[in-house]
Amino acid sequence: MTGRLAWRVARLADVRTETATARTLVLDVPGWPGHLAGQHVDVRLRAPDGYAAQRSYSLAAPAPADSARIELTVQRVADGEVSEYLTGPYAVGDAIELRGPVGGWFVWRPGDTDPVLLIAGGSGIVPLMAMVRARAAAASRVPFRLLYSVRSPDEVYYGDELRRRIRDDAGLDVTFLYTRHGPQPHRIGVADVNTAGWPAEFAPACFVCGPTGFVETAADILVALGHDPRKVKTERFGPSGG
């Protein structure tokens, strides 16, 4: 599938700090064909000796109609070959290679009409935020609920924007769940999904994204609560290098 996609040269146009260890990269990608919320890109770094490292990163925002500009949000992983570069030395004006958009299943289209439940663990918020933003950009009235599990309040990505959207985006509900520090820290459980999600009989489209263990737990809870497994779409942010 990705074999057909051409590698393109992207240049870093801007950077936004999300947390102490994550940043959003705003990239100019000449010839970018556009994408859907939920899709990702493959990024390739090449050393002068020809050694190459490739990783996947979700698109954090919907494609603007009039520019070849995309956004990725990268979490620094300790000793991570690619993420340490992208969150550190990679500077405005520098080039990287990328190809995409990749993935046609874990996507939300602005014409979709089912209620939506988004469940994010840590950096799994990235493609789900693209969906929240795509909903707003399309002035969609589809009700969205986001359950965002993160270690502590200072590890929340897009915090100011989420607070603004909670206030301004009618039909968007956001629930934060802290696993280590913050009010009542705990790991996601049935009660969280029951309270912050939709009843199964509403037949929502469910999107779950985050580390593999988190995704499996959340998807199991949804199915145990009666959600149709075909409507529970998952994306695992496990190691993607090769």
Pick the closer one to ligand FAD by CB: 33 or 213: 213
Whose tokens are 């996609």? That residue is 5
User: How does strand 232-236 pair with strand 205-210?
Assistant: parallel
Q: How many positions of this chain bind ligand FAD (CB under 6 A)?
A: 24
Q: Does 128 bind ligand FAD (CB under 6 A)?
A: no
The residue nearest ligand FAD at its CB is 80
Q: Does 61 bind ligand FAD (CB under 6 A)?
A: no
Q: Does 126 bind ligand FAD (CB under 6 A)?
A: yes
Pick the closer one to ligand FAD by CB: 142 or 219: 219
| DSSP output for the chain | -GGGSPPEEEEEEEEEEEETTEEEEEEE-TT-----BT-EEEEEEE-TTS-EEEEEEEB-SPPPTT--EEEEEEEPPTT-TTHHHHTTT--TT-EEEEEEEE-SSS-B-TT--S-EEEEEEGGGHHHHHHHHHHHHHTT----EEEEEEESSGGG-TTHHHHHHHHHHSTTEEEEEEESSSSSS-----HHHHHHHS--GGG--EEEEEESHHHHHHHHHHHHHTT--GGGEEEEE------
Q: Give the x/- contact pattern for ligand FAD in 190-229, rule: CB under 6 A.
A: ---------------------x------------------
Q: Does 56 bind ligand FAD (CB under 6 A)?
A: yes
Sole window of 55-63, 107-115, 143-151, 226-234 interacting with ligand FAD (rule: CB under 6 A)? 55-63
Q: Does 57 bind ligand FAD (CB under 6 A)?
A: yes
Sole window of 11-19, 70-78, 143-151, 175-183 interacting with ligand FAD (rule: CB under 6 A)? 70-78
Please classify residue 20 by burial: count the beta carbons closer than 10 Å to its beta carbon, then call 0-12 exposed, 13-18 middle and 19+ buried: exposed
Instruction: Supply the minimum distance, in Å, between the C-beta of residue 195 and ligand FAD.
Output: 27
Q: Does 235 bind ligand FAD (CB under 6 A)?
A: yes
Q: Does 42 bind ligand FAD (CB under 6 A)?
A: no
Contact positions with ligand FAD (CB under 6 A) in 73-92: 73-75, 77, 79-84
Q: Give the residues lining the site for ligand FAD (CB under 6 A).
A: 40, 55-58, 73-75, 77, 79-84, 123, 126, 211, 235, 237-241
